[in-house]
């Protein structure tokens, strides 16, 4: 009697024609099983599941192509820093708030014969902005900028020379 009750409960929850396993009937599960077995037999008779065909790959060409695309759309770090840093330095000099790092960058650029940096350094020495005023050094830097083709440098050389005392003029190197 207990056996009949259990069998009745089982049959009441699932009918003979439909068993709910992932929403499939027993018939659908059987057809899927037979279908996958047949597809495995067909593929195994024709070719192996894994094929080890040699593929010609050119990783260097692919890398260069991707790298070229990246370089086109992004600025190089050195260029980005130099452009932004120089404009920040010029603004700091105009405001009279020159840091030691700004001064070091101006000197570094002037050593690499950057005409703007040389003229800015000459102006800083002439006015005493960020540095101790030194008209001899200002004269030397303005003269260097004039030789590099900075148009206003010739006028500034004359102005600095006129502002010097006779002793300062005497200490300048003579051109013979």
- Taking the domains of the chain in order of start, what are their residue ranges? 77-170
What is each CA distance from 11 to 29, 30, 61, 149, in whole angstroms? 19, 20, 67, 103
pLDDT digits (tens, 9 = 90+) for 63-109: 676 666 556 555 555 554 555 688 889 999 899 899 898 999 999 99
Complete DSSP assignment for 6-57 = HHHHHHHHS-SS---BTTB-HHHHHHHHHHHHHHHHHHHHHS-SS-------
Entry pTM: 0.53
Q: Give the pLDDT of residue 169.
A: 87
Lowest mean pLDDT, pick from 40-44, 118-122, 164-168: 40-44
Q: How confident is the model at residue 35 (pLDDT cuts 50, 70, 90)?
A: confident
pLDDT digits (tens, 9 = 90+) for 127-170: 999 999 999 999 999 999 999 988 888 899 999 999 999 998 88
Give the residue from 109, 117, 163 showing the smallest Cα distance to 136.
Answer: 163
What is each CA distance from 147 to 14, 118, 124, 142, 157, in whole angstroms? 101, 11, 19, 9, 11
């Amino acid at each position: 009697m207990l056996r009949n009750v259990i069998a009745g409960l089982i049959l009441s929850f699932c009918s003979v024609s439909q068993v709910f396993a992932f929403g499939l009937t027993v018939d659908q599960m059987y057809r899927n099983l037979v279908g996958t077995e047949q597809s495995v037999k067909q593929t195994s008779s024709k070719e192996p599941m894994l094929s080890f065909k040699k593929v010609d790959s050119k990783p260097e060409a692919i890398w260069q192509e991707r790298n070229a695309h990246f370089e086109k759309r992004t600025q190089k770090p050195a260029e980005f820093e130099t452009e932004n840093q120089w404009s920040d330095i010029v603004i700091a000099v105009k405001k009279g708030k020159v840091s030691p790092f700004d001064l070091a960058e101006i000197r570094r650029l002037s050593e690499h014969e950057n005409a703007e940096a040389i003229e800015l350094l000459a102006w800083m020495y002439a006015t005493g902005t960020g540095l101790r005023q030194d008209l001899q050094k200002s004269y030397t830097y303005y003269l260097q900028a004039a030789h590099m083709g900075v148009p206003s440098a010739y006028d500034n050389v004359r102005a600095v020379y006129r502002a010097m005392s006779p002793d300062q003029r005497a200490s300048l190197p003579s051109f013979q």
